[in-house]
Chains A and B, each alone.
Chain A
Amino acid sequence: MNEKIYLLIKKTTSKLPQDLLDLLQVALNRESGVARDTISQILKNSDLASARHLPLCQDTGVLHFYVKRPLHYTEAYIKKESATAMKRAFKEGLLRVGSYPEFHFEESAGKKLEIQLLMKGGGSENMSFQYSLPDTELTALRDDDGIIKVVLDALVKAQGFGCPPGIIGICIGGDRAMGHALSKKVLLRNLSDINQDARLATLEKKIVKMANQLGIGPMGLGGKTTLLAAKCIAYQTLPASFFVTISYMCHAYRKGRIVI
């Protein structure tokens, strides 16, 4: 199993997923000047990394392993195999010293083991934010308008620090810990999918449209493309709380999946 996890890491660190590449291509066609040059560079970097099987970005980040495990696989075994795989990846320069794993386990009734990997660096993580509604400073109430407002505020705070244009995961509800966890997990979705919940689907579209009106642009140097996609999830919450948590993901959007 450690061989399969090693290959998952190798692919994830070096190859941008097709759904992101498609969105970057759209962005490239829409931009001009420095914004266009930046997207060009991102695509060139992607070609080089993919051809060489070397890291897209030197911040290989936290390796989030989302595991759906049939009961005959123990957590301990999966962690051990992952550690072996990572050791080899470090040696070969696929991971930077300092990267470490986080495991998110779920039991599966089936026979197959599914591992999804999300590699998330510190730059984007530093630009994740959590808001508590109502937010009096921003005049944001516990409604869709309020949610949109705080999301846009988060993007304005982030400027170019989180390496736009990337994507954001948004959790509406949950306690603080769940807000951060789910807004990150939702980043695994296929970027071209449409949310099954009609209200959230509308919200996602609106957010991207308005985000791109901010003019922050690629790497915060100005432009029409500040956000490529937004993915929302709603979760239960206590009457007293209403958290909106935004997980910021950069353009080095590294995700992968294997089924064993």
Chain B
Amino acid sequence: MKKVGDQILYSGILVTARDKVCARLVATKRSPFPLEGAIVYHAGPVVTKKGGRWKIEALGPTTSLRMEAYTHDLMNLFGIQGFIGKGGLGERSSKAFKQYGGFYASALGGGGQLLADSVIQVIDCFFLEEFGPADAMWVVLVKDFPMIVTMDEEGNSLHNRVEKNSKENFRKIADNR
């Protein structure tokens, strides 16, 4: 079980899905790529095509909270095991992680090169013509993708902790002047 604080170098498949793809998957209840046990990465890459093959030039995460509404359904419909992004997800997602046994991991925001480096191969791409490269579903094979678990299946959230703490600090310094 992945716990908040676990620093992981993930090797395996990542499936990118952000605003448009998440909405489409939930609306149609269908996926062009099998997502059972998959890890979804909230990201939209910079890509180029070299010799007929796609190359990922930059692959940092996008703000996950925009996709908050989809977590529960994506896990329920497709059996997705976890999500990677930046900034964390909300209460409903946390409940879904408890219910289905999932996690959320944070990857470096703005880590375009660092994270693109972990990509060994672009396996496939879906919704490319319809959504464009930044919004498409990219299936990539990665090695040693660095991430830190910040939400786990026991309801722990580092984001909640930091936020609560920052609000307390704000009250303290705002009133102490």
Which A positions have Cβ atoms within 8 angstroms of B? 34, 37-38, 41-42, 44-45, 48-49, 52, 54-60, 91-93, 95-98, 123, 126, 145, 148-149, 152-153, 156, 159-161, 163, 210, 213-217, 219-222, 250-252
Are A98 and B134 in contact, with the CB atoms below 8 A? yes
Comparing B27-35, B57-65, B71-79, B96-104, the segment that makes contact with chain A is: B57-65
Interface residues in B127-146 by Cβ distance below 8 A to A read: 132-134, 146
Min CB distance B43 to A, Å, is 7
Q: Is B158 an interface residue (CB 8 A)?
A: yes
Are A159 and B146 in contact, with the CB atoms below 8 A? no
Are B46 and A216 in contact, with the CB atoms below 8 A? no
Residue of B with least CB distance to A48: B113
Are A159 and B87 in contact, with the CB atoms below 8 A? yes
Main secondary structure of the interface of A (DSSP, over half): loop
Question: Nearest 10 pairs between A and B by C-beta?
Answer: A48-B113, A58-B58, A163-B109, A93-B57, A93-B48, A252-B110, A57-B110, A45-B114, A96-B46, A55-B58
Q: Which residues of A contact B65 (CB under 8 A)?
A: 161
Q: Given A123-B63, A213-B169, check contact A41 B134 (CB 8 Å).
A: no
Residue of B with least CB distance to A45: B114
State which of B57, B112, B134, B166 has its C-beta within 8 Å of the C-beta of A45: B112
State which of B47, B113, B163, B169 has its C-beta within 8 Å of the C-beta of A159: B163
Are A221 and B162 in contact, with the CB atoms below 8 A? yes
Q: Which residues of A contact B47 (CB under 8 A)?
A: 93
Which B positions have Cβ atoms within 8 angstroms of A? 5, 7, 43-48, 55, 57-60, 62-63, 65, 86-88, 106, 108-114, 116-117, 132-134, 146, 148, 150, 158-159, 161-163, 165-167, 169-170, 173-174, 177
Main secondary structure of the interface of B (DSSP, over half): mixed
Are A54 and B134 in contact, with the CB atoms below 8 A? no
State which of B45, B159, B173 has its C-beta within 8 Å of the C-beta of A210: B173
Q: How far is the CA of A123 from the CA of B5 in the complex (A)?
A: 24
The listed residue with most A CB atoms (<10 A of its CB), out of B43, B59, B110, is B110
Q: How far is the CA of A48 from the CA of B116 in the complex (A)?
A: 11
Min CB distance B99 to A, Å, is 25
State which of A42, A153, A214, A250 has its C-beta within 8 Å of the C-beta of B169: A214
Instruction: Kindly list 15 other residue pairs between chains A and B, CB separation below 8 angstroms, not including A54-B113, A58-B59, A252-B112.
Output: A41-B111, A42-B111, A54-B112, A55-B58, A55-B113, A59-B44, A59-B60, A97-B134, A152-B173, A159-B87, A161-B65, A221-B158, A222-B158, A222-B161, A250-B109
Are B158 and A57 in contact, with the CB atoms below 8 A? no
Min CB distance A122 to B, Å, is 8
State which of A54, A56, A152, A220 has its C-beta within 8 Å of the C-beta of B110: A56
Q: How far is the CA of A3 from the CA of B76 in the complex (A)?
A: 52
Q: How far is the CA of A161 from the CA of B85 in the complex (A)?
A: 10
Q: Which residues of A contact B112 (CB under 8 A)?
A: 45, 49, 54-58, 252
The listed residue with most A CB atoms (<10 A of its CB), out of B62, B106, B132, B162, is B162
State which of A57, A149, A214, A251 has its C-beta within 8 Å of the C-beta of B166: A214
Are A221 and B106 in contact, with the CB atoms below 8 A? yes
State which of B106, B133, B162 has its C-beta within 8 Å of the C-beta of A215: B162
